[in-house]
Structure 1
Amino acid sequence: MLPDKLTASDDVPVLDVAIREAIEWEVTLRGGDASSDERAKFEDWRLADPSHDAAWARLQARLGRFSALEGASGAAVRRAVDEPSHTRRRLLKIGAGVAAGVLAGLGTRELIKVFALDADFHNGNAAPENVALSDGVRLTLGASTRIYVPSRRPQGDIFVASGQIATGARAAAASLVAVGTRDGMVQTRTAKLSVDALRMHTVVAVQGGDAMLTDRSGERVKAADGTAWSLSSHRIQRMPETSSDIFAWTTGTLVVLDRAVPDVVETLGRYFKGYIRFPSAALNRRVSGVFPLDDVEASLRQLAEGLGLTLNFYGKSLAIAT
């Protein structure tokens, strides 16, 4: 169950207890990391009282009538935060539980599709996670990363739905590894790769060998050892960072040179686990810097101060720069 219960203020109606608990269970089970014990407890809860089963059925019926949000998983909370100030104050009184209430407006099937909740591998932790695929390929998964790995992989295909991965060292003349995102694909036999699926583009770093980048239009570029690239659906462009700069995330540091602010906010958001809001004017700027990923609140403050902004935190759920 969620540790933060929904609470009520004078101008927020109290949710029916059974409905509130049903929402908490929906969010817990939807996360994809629910243990067998949690699922058993859910069944015990549902069968313990007819009102529980009825509340669960009503919630599922409501979920079926809504489409998933387009964009990041924080988009639901974004809409709440971007409401007029009097509405925002009312919502903030609810506390962290507001996210659970807003999530009740998502369609479960659509949410699975849009946010890749059925991915083959998912790292829900802030620390990198190491995994080994069935053919011996080793991967490091960054925070909030979800990838698909087809059971039959003649070309070693890996699809990064969200987040960031790094492949392990490759032996000479090793089998082909192909990593895809919605923007295109990178292929190599010898190099280590860092592949970061951001909203605006995919950042690729190549280390220890060469790789071939291909965008969705079919354009191909050979990426040399030590280089970093921006891969979007119709453009492949060299980036100022080195591959060592990009790979620094695997040891807990984000290094950016002349990078668009939305890239940095999105990356730090994977470690913050809440909604981050910066003014539109700030999102049009570019920054350079070194940001520790093991202290994301300090990094967010560092970013805000570098842009001449003040950052306010509302618990662990919201960070708003003004």
Structure 2
Amino acid sequence: MSDIQAARKDTLRAAARWYALLCSEEVTAQQKHAHAAWLAEDPAHTHAWQEVEKLRRQFQAIPGTPALDALQIKQRQGHSRRAVLRGFALLAAGSALGSLAWQRAPVDSWMASHRTARGERREYTLAGGTQLVLNTATALDVVETSTTQLIRLYAGEIFIRTRNETGKVAAAKTLQVHTEQGTVVPLGTVFTVRKLGTSTQVTVLEDEVELIPQSGGGKTQHLVAGEQAQMSSVNVEVATASDQADSWTRGLLVAVDWPLNRLVAELSRYRTGVLRCDPSIAGLRVSGAFPIDNTDRALSAYSKLIA
């Protein structure tokens, strides 16, 4: 085993131990703070923690998983919940070290500390003044240490402003946004981050940010105002951003020469039920501002345009 593999193994085992500890009924506030500090020490710690959590979700999604059945038997036999959780966590670390192929698992958004329902938006202000706006169907956690504010985005989209109205940096702490694909580090800025399945979309509205793909070998990519990037776990693709990328924070979806099927897909994010576009008109070009707080009104407005 190489030194790199050994280090990764140790980190995964540490993440497993943290998982068992934090799932215990006896966990203390001091231990939670220590865990947050451990996450902030090294991006590898965060990546290992995400692997343990992802494997837990994947096991839960498989009916009759032998490993979980065995743990349930142990619990019925009188073992403590903490011991059972530690067994699972160590199993998770061991599996992560193997050749298990990850498949995208649904996010347990109900466990997140901050979340929105479909069609809902919410605003939060973090300690220090950083402003967050959560878009529809968004789930995230905020982890605070003495030096770092860590936002872990599981699903959806967020708008972040790290400068206040006087132009000063709002938070003295280092802000980081983590997704499955990597890390976003703002350099005193206004930007949005959106989860798109196997990629993360980052749009910079003011100043700049630094993107660090999870498996990019330490390579980073800077984005400046007016740029948008799709970040996978290994690389970053940069393009020009729309100047209306944050229009959703004002309750609008602004389309500029979009194909109709794109408009329908975007509007469907804000409403329950199924919304589809007939293939025969999917390519029709659309421009306009559509209210996302009343998608029926938006669809009615468009139908009048093409009537």
**Alignment gaps of 5+ in structure 1:** 1-64, 70-111, 311-322
* Mapped contact 1:194–1:206 kept (Cα < 8 A): yes
Distance 1:254 1:289, change over 3 A: same
Does residue 177 in structure 1 map to residue 139 in structure 2?
A: no
Q: Distance in 2 between matches of 1:263 and 1:115?
A: 27
Q: Percent identity?
A: 22
1:122-172 CA-to-partner distances (Å, cap 9, x unmatched) read 122634211122443221111211111124374322121111111124224
TM-score where L is the length of structure 1? 0.50
The alpha-carbon deviation at position 118 of structure 1 amounts to: 0.3
Which position in structure 2 is the counterpart of 1:229?
A: 229
The alpha-carbon deviation at position 222 of structure 1 amounts to: 0.7
Q: Distance in 2 between matches of 1:224 and 1:286?
A: 32
* Mapped contact 1:256–1:287 kept (Cα < 8 A): no
Deviates more, 1:157-166 or 1:265-274: 265-274
Q: How does 1:118-267 map to 2 (within 5 A)?
A: 118-124=111-117, 126-152=119-145, 154-170=147-163, 171-172=168-169, 174-199=172-197, 201-218=199-216, 219-242=219-242, 244-256=243-255, 264-267=263-266
Which position in structure 2 is the counterpart of 1:268?
A: 267
* Mapped contact 1:241–1:256 kept (Cα < 8 A): no
**Match of 1:117, SS?**
helix
Q: Distance in 1 between matches of 2:237 and 2:119?
A: 29
Q: Distance in 2 between matches of 1:230 and 1:136?
A: 28
Which position in structure 2 is the counterpart of 1:114?
A: 107
The RMSD of aligned alpha carbons is: 3.9
Distance 1:163 1:66, change over 3 A: closer
Which position in structure 2 is the counterpart of 1:319?
A: none
* Mapped contact 1:148–1:158 kept (Cα < 8 A): yes
Q: Distance in 2 between matches of 1:126 and 1:119?
A: 18
1:205-237 CA-to-partner distances (Å, cap 9, x unmatched) read 112211111223324211012322222333322
Q: For residue 178 of structure 1, what is the amino acid of its counterpart?
A: Q
The alpha-carbon deviation at position 247 of structure 1 amounts to: 1.1
TM-score where L is the length of structure 2? 0.53
Q: Distance in 1 between matches of 2:237 and 2:251?
A: 26
Q: For residue 226 of structure 2, what is the amino acid of its counterpart?
A: G
Distance 1:135 1:246, change over 3 A: same
**Match of 1:197, SS?**
strand
* Mapped contact 2:258–2:287 kept (Cα < 8 A): no
1:41-74 CA-to-partner distances (Å, cap 9, x unmatched) read xxxxxxxxxxxxxxxxxxxxxxxx98379xxxxx
The alpha-carbon deviation at position 174 of structure 1 amounts to: 4.7
* Mapped contact 1:260–1:286 kept (Cα < 8 A): yes
Q: For residue 67 of structure 1, what is the amino acid of its counterpart?
A: A
Q: For residue 232 of structure 1, what is the amino acid of its counterpart?
A: S
Distance 1:252 1:212, change over 3 A: same
Q: Distance in 2 between matches of 1:297 and 1:213?
A: 37
* Mapped contact 2:118–2:272 kept (Cα < 8 A): no
**Match of 2:244, SS?**
helix
Distance 1:67 1:305, change over 3 A: farther
**Match of 1:245, SS?**
coil
1:61-117 CA-to-partner distances (Å, cap 9, x unmatched) read xxxx98379xxxxxxxxxxxxxxxxxxxxxxxxxxxxxxxxxxxxxxxxxx963421
**Alignment gaps of 5+ in structure 2:** 1-58, 64-104
Number of equivalenced pairs: 200
Does residue 67 in structure 1 map to residue 66 in structure 2?
A: no
* Mapped contact 2:184–2:210 kept (Cα < 8 A): yes
Q: Distance in 2 between matches of 1:181 and 1:303?
A: 35
**Match of 1:149, SS?**
strand
Q: Distance in 1 between matches of 2:281 and 2:111?
A: 34
Distance 1:153 1:277, change over 3 A: farther
1:255-312 CA-to-partner distances (Å, cap 9, x unmatched) read 35677888655542231122334568988x7966443313323545778999x9x9xx
